[in-house]
Structure 1
Amino acid sequence: MLVMEFKAVLKKPQELAINEAIRTARFVRNKVLRFWMDNRGIGKKELYRYNTQLRDEFEFVKHLNSQACQASVENVERSIKRFFDNCKKKVPGKKGYPKFKKHSRSVEYKQSGWKLLPDKKAVKFTDKKGIGQVKLKGTWDLWLVDQKLIKRVRIVQRADGYYVQFCVKINNKTEPLQATGCNVGLDVGLKEFYTDSDGYAEPNPRFYRKGEKRLKFYQRRVSRKKKGSANRKKAINKLGRQHLKISRQREEHAKRVARCVIRSNDLVAYEDLRVKNLVKNHCLAKSINDAGWYQFRKWLEYFGEKFGRITVAVNPAYTSQTCSNCGAIVKKSLSTRTHVCECGCELDRDHNAAINILTRALSTVGHTGTKINAWGDLSSTLSGSGLIEQDGSVNQESPGL
């Protein structure tokens, strides 16, 4: 599934109509979720029947396209399924019990309720919400896409405006690249973005740290405005735009670096880190989130599948403590940045860990303890690898949904 995203050029009445459509989709979702909570044990059919009742009962719900309402029901269905799956798998911590949404920023149409105009530079929404014809601004070429392959159309609200996303069911794989004969292990860190097994260290851009001064400035302006006033809404929007800028910088950096790494190596090994657990350390949480380790891993797996490269997630246990030369355990604290072993091996701590990661990956490939996931990537299934939420790839090259 490929996601093509365009900036929507809207007039004020269209913005109000889109906001109404988003609120209606949220209303349907919350009502269906309440119906499930009050009637435990009901199945999908009952949820969809209740959705039909809502359309008969509320006129504003009937004005929204029927398949857009069904998409809201599907969101509830997915959240319920994810909750029960986490319970069956005995995921540690919270299981993700479905919650009501107070704020939502998107409405999703399936294959009805919208129509591409002949020039494919605009899309017309045909339900009774009054959105009408929306001009599209972007670099994707919709002429290359058969309209029957467009399975979803989403309108997404962000701090800098509205976007229209087309989810296209096409094979996004490219011709496999020629073999380079190179394998690499990556050790992500906070001092450097990553250090590979060849000793190269990619600098950590620290986008949030650099933009923190500006964020604090906008946050102070928000706190000084009167609650509920128009000036406060403007200040909140400027703060949101700054956060959006930083998140886009981090995402584009992870994408660019991951693409270069994948194209340059036949096999890429990295640590199977549980970032969700690591950020529980409040001293390092801000720096870990700023580094964007999971985004980097996500794009490594995506480009690995796209270009036919092998990506291996290995168990990170003792990769920093083990000597890459003799295999001895050399205990060290986080503040110790140089690995020094009795065998005479003296390396940077991260370089030593990267070599261990690559060695562990090469010993895992083809072994019974390794599985090939849905993307064809090799992932460690050793005990403690913790692939509950991390083992997955992204199916898009546009900004996240």
Structure 2
Amino acid sequence: MTGRPGRTGRSGNQAGAGDLLQLVRHGRAVTRGALQQATGLSRATVGQRLDRLFRAGWLREGAGGGVGSPLGGRPSATLEFDGSHAVVLAADLDTRHGRAAVLTLTGDILAEHAGTLVVEDGPGPVLGELARWFAELLVKSGHLPAQVCGIGLAVPGPVDSESGRVVQPPIMPGWDGYDIRGRLSRALTEYTGAPAVPVLVDNDANLMAYGEQRTGYPDCPAFVLVKVSTGIGAGVVVDGSIYRGADGGAGDLGHIRVGADALCRCGSHGCLAAVASGGAVARRLAASGVPATSGSDVRELLADGHPEAASLAREAGRRVGDVLATVVTLLNPGVLMIAGDLAGTPFLTGVRELLYQRALPRSTAHLEVVTSRLGERAGLIGAGALVVEYLYAPERVEERLAELGV
């Protein structure tokens, strides 16, 4: 990075409209004078580039009064990203349920639907049903299909973010290597007549972590979310970006071997998910005569104060906490968030017991161990944010402005 501290990564006339938009969107420079100071551009050049963003409908002047300019003179009008000029469609798939929504570009949910969607039915039927939900939600929210700028989808399996394809998912039979992007885009066009839009796919825990970190902990440099439902997965956000690993496999916590004999759905024995997931707890409850078949059943039992469910959830938390001691020592996160069907007091108590016992005190000295703030909407909000960050990234803004003729 060159230039004076506080400037964008591109200096002088290299800072384009996309760089200015990025500064405004993230609140780092919200007046013309502040943009001049941050980029080194002249007043005229800043004005020209802002004019393109205004004509595209992406920027507007703030409703409040002006603020003092860092360059002196009269107060300058504030600038803000106009999150109403388009909408995003987002969906979050679990093993047996799905949730879909229409969101503004700033993450506000305008219309939402949840219902049964069984991933084992295969990608064709599931994605077709999602497209139908999207069509109904657009009508409900009062938006036209042409206003959709992108789709974000969270799935319960590892994803190659470049191709958007699921890679060897343990609990998604029939989805391996499937063209999710193409199928979902075509299905939406079939239902609504909407033009093809970008479709971004990522792991559900990744997008939950992304949504929670951006919404509740934007200044946290290392954030870890662990989702414990039918399976167990983790999402990691470092310096505001999702950490995916070499090929999308980062965070697959449920398949760490813990020395047990239980058979996992991945085909191996002794995986953490086989003994400590919501599905594992449900199987143990069923074996003792308590009707439970899934993590969601366990969640309902916990909500009712069922003593055996609480005891098994605490035991599962201890197993997960033992593994998380290594994760915390390796990553030194500021926040460790527990989410999913088991994210209640018994499980969290178990996690804390083993985590603080096994991890180095240095690793936990400034660690917050918390539960989800956004609940079942975390994946939706993360998926929407992923689409917005992709579409309005500086390197993509110029191309999109050219397509709009501005």
Q: What TM-score, normalized to structure 2?
A: 0.31
Larger radius of gyration: 1
